[in-house]
Amino acid sequence: MKDLAMHILDIVQNSIAANATEIAILMDVQSESQQLVLKISDNGRGIPENMLESVTDAFVTSRTTRKVGLGLPLFKMNAERTGGALMIESKIGSGTSVKSIFRTSHPDCLPYGDIAGTMALLIGTNQNIEFNFSFTVNQRSYAISTTEIKQTLDGVSVSEPRVIRLLKEMINENMLDLQSIKT
């Protein structure tokens, strides 16, 4: 996977497959410690305790079409390559949380990619799931939730192509703003 947006899209698919109805994506960037935290949490069915340790093994998967599941292993590899880590917490019946830490000073740290577009696409094509997205740079945050979006849209569906485009623009503008603030 060549950027963080692709990992977000990938891990969220896991959450959707686990029948999550609420998914939270959190990005926290600290310039001083040169650290980026990317956390994806859901209220899906959870990962059984005996599988939790081995779930980052490429040959451990809950998929039935293949014996290989590369999403988590690749994510872990990319985080660890920068000197970071991947932590997974889960409870059956409650949900799962995948937290990754990347060291942004490392040359192998992945670029963001099209995060706004990915969020807009996820929101627009999964109308029955509530998403919460927050992007924080040096303690300054931008957060948006589908609850607020749907309330604002007042009956207009999030799956309208124009809405998806607008959401992408909105999220992108706010993310760029936060990134351009000089501390």
Partner 1 sequence: MGNVKTLADLRKIKEDLQGKMSLREKSDHPESLVQIRVAMATCGIASGAKQVMEFFIDEFEKRNIPAVVTQTGCMGYCFAEPTIEVTLPGQNPVVFGYIDTRKADEIIEKYVKNGELVDGIIPVNYETIETKREA
In contact, 123 and 167? CB cutoff 8 Å: yes
**DSSP-derived secondary structure for 128-145:** TSEEEEEEEETTEEEEEE
Instruction: State in angstroms the smallest separation of the CB of 145 from partner 1.
Output: 10
Amino acid at site 138: N
CA end-to-end distance (rounded Å), the chain? 31
- Strand locations in 72-125 (E): 85-91, 95-103
Residue from 50, 155, 180, 182 binding partner 1 (CB under 8 A): 155
At residue 124's C-alpha, the angle toward residues 121 and 129, to 5°, is 110
Stretch that binds partner 1, among 66-74, 81-89, 101-109, 128-136 (CB under 8 A): 66-74
- Residues in region 22-61 near partner 1 by CB under 8 A: none
Residue 89 interacting with partner 1 (CB under 8 A): no
148 binds partner 1 (CB under 8 A): yes
In 9-163, the DSSP E strands lie at 22-30, 35-42, 85-91, 95-103, 130-137, 140-145
Task: For residue 13, state whether it binds partner 1 (rule: CB under 8 A).
Answer: yes
Tokens of 48: 């059984």
Measured from the CB atom, the residue of 60 and 170 that comes closer to partner 1 is 170
22 touches 52 (CB < 8 A):
no
Q: Does the footprint of partner 1 cover residue 128 (CB under 8 A)? A: no
Options 52, 60, 163, 178; binder of partner 1; rule CB under 8 A = 163
* Residue 111 within binding range of partner 1, rule CB under 8 A: no
Instruction: Tell me if 179 contacts partner 1 by CB under 8 A.
Output: no
Please report, as ranges, the residues that interact with partner 1 according to CB under 8 A: 1-2, 6, 9-10, 13, 16-17, 63, 65-66, 69-71, 74, 114, 117-118, 121, 124-126, 148-149, 152-157, 159-164, 166, 169-170, 173-174
